[in-house]
């Protein structure tokens, strides 16, 4: 019985694989996928958000001042039968 010698790894694969190119392609594919997922999430998130009101802080302050300080004081403190200082009479 004749045994054939087992060839070494370097005899089976005489050229070294080009791993840098492989990993660069994989990295590029991963980044493209991550960007795609982020864009899809951003567009879905924006579609689900209520529209933003363009009121500035100054406009909001003016509206609050008008509602709190320029309205009739009776609407906040009057009782159905009259003012509370008259005992409801």
pLDDT tens string 11-25 = 777 777 788 888 999
CA 43 to chain centre: 10
Q: What span, in angstroms and rounded, lies between the C-alpha atoms of 22 and 26?
A: 6
Instruction: Tally the domains of the chain.
Output: 1
Residue 66 lies in a domain: yes
**What would the pLDDT profile of 20-77 be if each residue is shown by its tens digit?**
888 999 999 999 999 999 999 999 998 888 766 665 778 888 888 887 776 655 555 5
Q: Which domain holds residue 51?
A: 9-77
Domain annotation covers residue 68 = yes
Q: What secondary structure does DSSP assign to the chain, as a single string? A: -PPPPPPPHHHH--S---HHHHHHHHHHHHHHHHHHHHHHHHHHHHHHSPPPP---HHHHHHHHHHHHHSS-THHHHEETTEEGGGTT-
In a domain, 84, yes or no: no
Q: Which structure tokens are listed for 7? A: 């060839």
């Amino acid at each position: 019985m004749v045994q054939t010698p087992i060839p070494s790894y370097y005899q089976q694969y005489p050229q070294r694989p080009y791993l840098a190119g492989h990993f660069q392609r994989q990295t590029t594919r991963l980044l493209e996928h991550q960007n795609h997922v982020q864009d899809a999430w951003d567009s879905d998130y924006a579609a689900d958000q209520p529209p933003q009101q363009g009121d500035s802080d100054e406009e909001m302050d003016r509206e609050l001042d008008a509602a709190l300080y320029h309205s009739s004081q009776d609407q906040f403190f009057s009782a159905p039968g009259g003012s509370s200082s008259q005992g409801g009479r």
